[in-house]
Amino acid sequence: MNKLYDAAQAVNSRSAGFAPDRSMSSQDLVHAVLGDITLDLGFGGRGCQSSHLGTTTCNPADMDVGLLLHEFGHHFDWGLGGGPSADLAEGEITDTAGNHVTGKDPDIEDFQRTFSGYRCSSVPCVYAGKKHPQWNTPYEDFADMYSNWTTRGFADDIGGAGSARNIWMEVHMPGWLAEIFGP
């Protein structure tokens, strides 16, 4: 269960600065950010699956910190009524050169995901790669972005797509966490 502890500590580390009560325990902070999550280690398939009902079911052989954080990203999104993934679907993230990174692509007037800004296009950088049936959705891209934001795992490319993804998360996270913690 060290992987679960490490994932929870990553959430705590990135979210602590937004808590209105600095004396909040790390357990209470993670619970406030993610809500009630039941982790079931009896999944017979590959990886993990999460439900809106607060359950994440994992195959222990496939479970790692990044995958848990990806699933936590889904719970975070659901806890805010899908607001973060909706924000991603309606806006566009571009790098400083104006290249589309993710979000609503004005050329096709629809959501279009790229893997720009991630250090790679598969595990451990993203958990909803092109083999995943819903890979090109704001829902899955947000979960991957949450995982990378939490671990500071975006590509280190000042002005590039990794920087653009990180800045987008940094700009939006205070508002989302304010919804959770209140004024």
CA angle 27, 28, 33 (to 5 degrees): 100
pLDDT tens digits along 43-92: 777 888 888 778 888 888 888 899 999 999 999 999 999 999 999 999 99
| Contacts for 26 with CB less than 8 Å, ≥ 6 apart | 8, 9, 12, 16
Range with the poorest average pLDDT among 42-46, 87-91, 98-102, 162-166: 42-46
**Helix extents (H) in 83-160:** 83-90, 138-151
The pLDDT assigned to 106 comes to 95
Mean residue pLDDT of the chain comes to 90
Structure tokens at 30: 């993670």
Same domain (yes/no): 28, 92? no
pLDDT over 90 (residue 146)? yes
Range with the poorest average pLDDT among 57-61, 70-74, 109-113, 172-176: 57-61
- The pTM of this model reads 0.91
Q: Is 138 within 8 Å of 126 (Cβ atoms)? A: no
Same domain (yes/no): 18, 68? yes
Last residue of a domain, one of 45, 60, 80: 80
Last residue of a domain, one of 80, 101, 133: 80
Residue 60, domain extent: 2-80
Last residue of a domain, one of 80, 110, 139: 80
Same domain (yes/no): 73, 89? no
124 preceded by cis ω (within 30°)? yes
Q: Confidence class of residue 1 from pLDDT cuts 50, 70 and 90? A: low
Q: Which of 40-44, 107-111, 119-123 has the highest mean pLDDT?
A: 107-111
Same domain (yes/no): 96, 174? yes
Number of domains in the chain: 2
The pLDDT assigned to 71 comes to 93
